[in-house]
Copies of this chain bind each other. A is one copy, B any other.
Amino acid sequence: MALMAWETHVKRMNSLLGKLSDVQLEHEVAPGRNTGVYLLGHLTAVNDYMLPLFGLGERLYPELETIFITNPDKSGLDKPSAAELRSYWSNVTNTLNEHFSKMTADDWFARHTSVSEADFAKEPHRNKLNVLLNRTNHQAYHWGQMAFLDKKATD
């Protein structure tokens, strides 16, 4: 069910991205707030981090961390273009979904790599499924903001 919720939110974001032009993505989602490009980079970087966190491999785009996580929008750092970020977003979500489709229930309830075995024994909820729940909510939070770039949407 958590995986279904994740997949639903990836699909909703893909649908929103399909409606927005690159120019629209470069706009601020609200006056003085983050641009669509920044939020797309931010979500891509945060999702990419699930690969090492779940022991599935290295991040695909580690260079995004400085631009989109450590630093705020309008940091003056060069950003990839909207077109590049769309492709990074697709690669990250497709790679994750490929791994996720092979994971068993036991895999999901296993610890993620940023919690030690000793801490996990005390706090067994610090597992991969919990990270996925949090990432899905994180995505919903920013998706609600990016939806403002779609002038026709009212929600």
On A, residues with C-beta under 8 Å from B are: 1-2, 4-5, 9, 29-31, 33, 72, 125, 127, 129-130, 133-134, 136-138, 140-145, 148, 154
- When distances are taken between beta carbons in the complex, the residues of chain B under 8 Å from A29 are 30
**Considering only CB atoms, which chain B residue lies closest to A137 in the complex?**
B140
Chain B contacts of A33 at CB under 8 A? 30, 148
Q: How far is A56 from B57 in the complex, measured between Cα atoms in Å? A: 45
Q: How far is the CA of A134 from the CA of B141 in the complex (A)?
A: 13
Residues from chain B with a CB closer than 8 A to the CB of A4 are 125, 130
CB-defined contacts of A133 to chain B, threshold 8 Å: 1-2, 5, 133
Q: What residue of chain B has the Cβ atom nearest to residue A138's Cβ? A: B140
